[in-house]
Amino acid sequence: MKKALGKGLNALLPSAPHGEETAVVELDVGKIEPNPDQPRKIFDEESISQLAESIASVGVVQPIIVTDEGAYYKIVAGERRWRAARKAGLKAVPAIIRNFTKEQGVEVALIENLQRQDLNPIEEAAAYKNLMDYSNLSQDELALKVGKKRSTVANALRLLKLPVEIQKNIEEGIISSGHARALLSVSDTKAREKLFREILTGNISVRQAEKKALSLGEKKSSKKTSGAKHPPEIDAMTEKFINKLGTKVVIEGDLNKGKILIDYYSMEDLERLYEILGG
């Protein structure tokens, strides 16, 4: 499938055969099952309950999308509506039955969640990776397909390089994506763990986390240099580079001459930096 996700969910839905209109059918909620490839893994029960109250009043306004698996129907898009309908006590829900390849199913599920902004940062990153794996796409091709900037996709994928414990806290909303970017800029494992614990226990803002990440980077780099103190202008510029590039940056030199050291952690990360720097 070569259509861009950014163009909307309707662009991904195959037309009904022979020009027929798309048929909406009522399906028994008990014969419908979730999709194991659904990008969204966490469902807020309070939000589901609120939707259930609305559905109990006016019904399911937008049909869910399913594939016919023979013994059951598998949800491609609309699991939240299905969960809420069950909670509201409905026996059937409106649905559109479609035949999708696995790649197409992943694409449709991903775009629906992206359009609704339903995914947390880790879910979004995992969905991008799954689509890349299923479709054998490069980051450039994926960015074009989902209608995002390549740097946006690259930054999302970088989150999957963080330790599982940190990813779990991002997924649960305990740590924001801004905090995560600060953690990614710390290359030393022990220093990153220290900052992670501070974020968890110290109620540190994103701005404070960025400053601490910068400080940790400077402490490490000072072991390799003469230890001369930087002018405040250089420190301020270093912080600007780190915030812009989302990685560790060290400026060696003075106000007249020097060099900039930028860390990268993979070929994809290097390409991300190249794009940010105007490549």
Distance CA 264, CA 246 (A): 10
For 193, phi and psi rounded to 5 degrees? -60, -40
Distance CA 252, CA 259 (A): 5
Contact 238, 214 (CB under 8 A): yes
Rg (CA), the chain: 23
Contact 4, 107 (CB under 8 A): no
Catalytic residue, chosen from 21, 79, 141, 268, is 79
210 as an active site residue: the answer is no
What are the residue numbers of the active site?
79
